[in-house]
Amino acid sequence: MGAITDIFRTFGPEYIARFPELPNQHKKVINAIIDCRSGEYGVSVYKCDKCRQQHHIGCCCGNRHCPECQYHKSRQWLEKQLDRCLPGSHFMLTFTVPEQIRMFCRSNQDVAYGAMFKAASGAIKKLVKDPKHIGADLAGFTGVLHTWGRLLQYHPHIHFIVPGGGLSADRTKWLLAGNAFYLPVRALSKIFKAKFMHEMAGRNLLNQINQKVWSLQWNVNCQPVGTAEASLKYLAPYVFRVAISNSRIESFNKCTVTFSYRKQDSRRSRKISLNVFEFMRRFLQHVLPSGFMKVRHYGFMNSNCAVPLHRLRLLILTCMQGDFSTLLPRKMAPKRLRPKCKDCGGSLRYLYSIIPGLQCRGPT
């Protein structure tokens, strides 16, 4: 088990007892992390092909905030998205709300996060259509919500990976962005703020927000990230990664948790120690509302778009006079490796699972 699981198993019950008003979603996450691979969710039985010894491995909880359950999901998502890659340059747009509104967002997560997605995507779509910029009728992009900073502080923002162009109104031409910044960030910032304000007004929530927020410039950043493959590999860890990885936990005891971090634009590793309950509080404030979609695809990147991806690739390469060999299917990803026997190193073969309340399920 990792260090985060050990922390929650050691202090989770006391944390729940100490804070009885804890949201139910937070309690569910704590209990899921505690029970993950403990046997509470069942046991999978494997047999070593080499030494013939049987191994019983506890089933995972599957909770999206559990650090033990997310790595393989990230790899699967990346492989799927790489199959949907488009040629040409890509950009990463990051939309961030001001610090003065973050407490409101944390208290109204479902509404605030949904409004962030709607406002940011709406700002992109509006400027893409402007003839002064790209003049395209249809843009496409993928957004991922990210709520934490390097010290686990609450810092909600959305990363969008955007191909550098868009489709014409008749869907027969690819129109290149033709610049190094895709869209002007100051204009995006103004539209993002106005659309978010409109969403809050529509829900009668403006009176709960510090009015100084609307006089500030909201932060939007744009940077070129090269090919789709490079940008997706950068983004993939954010899709399923929890607020902090086990590798960053240096140590913990009955009082404190010590973990490493790096300041922005610095490679030097630093350490910080937090009270164990403060560490858990910071971790849990990034638990998403139940059922909330933190990854969203828009325009021609949405699977429901009428223009298929192979058609898009052809239009982009025709516009760029690119290498049409990129239209060839990608090589199949290597088969997933079997787990290894901890005694002899042989491959483990799945036999069956024992799930509480269900009949045994044998190999398929």
Whole domain around residue 208: which residue ranges? 71-243+289-327
**Total structural domains in the chain?**
1
Look at residue 172 and tell me if it is in a domain.
Answer: yes
**Beta bridge partners of residue 298, listed in sequence order:** 141
Look at residue 267 and tell me if it is in a domain.
Answer: no
Look at residue 344 and tell me if it is in a domain.
Answer: no
CB burial of 289-315 (b: ≥16 within 10 Å; e: otherwise) equals eeeeebebbbbbbeeebeeebeebbeb
Look at residue 139 and tell me if it is in a domain.
Answer: yes
Look at residue 318 and tell me if it is in a domain.
Answer: yes
Q: Quick check: 67 and 2 in contact, CB under 8 A?
A: yes
Beta strand segments in 208-317, E? 219-226, 249-252, 256-262, 269-275, 295-299
pLDDT single digits (tens) 28-40: 999 999 999 888 8
Give me Rg for the CA atoms of the chain: 23
3-class secondary structure, 60: coil
Look at residue 313 and tell me if it is in a domain.
Answer: yes
Is pTM beyond 0.95 here? no
pLDDT single digits (tens) 326-336: 555 455 454 55
pLDDT single digits (tens) 170-215: 999 999 987 778 999 999 999 999 999 999 999 999 999 999 999 9
> Which range has the top average pLDDT, 41-45, 108-112, 229-233, 311-315?
108-112
Look at residue 102 and tell me if it is in a domain.
Answer: yes
Look at residue 196 and tell me if it is in a domain.
Answer: yes
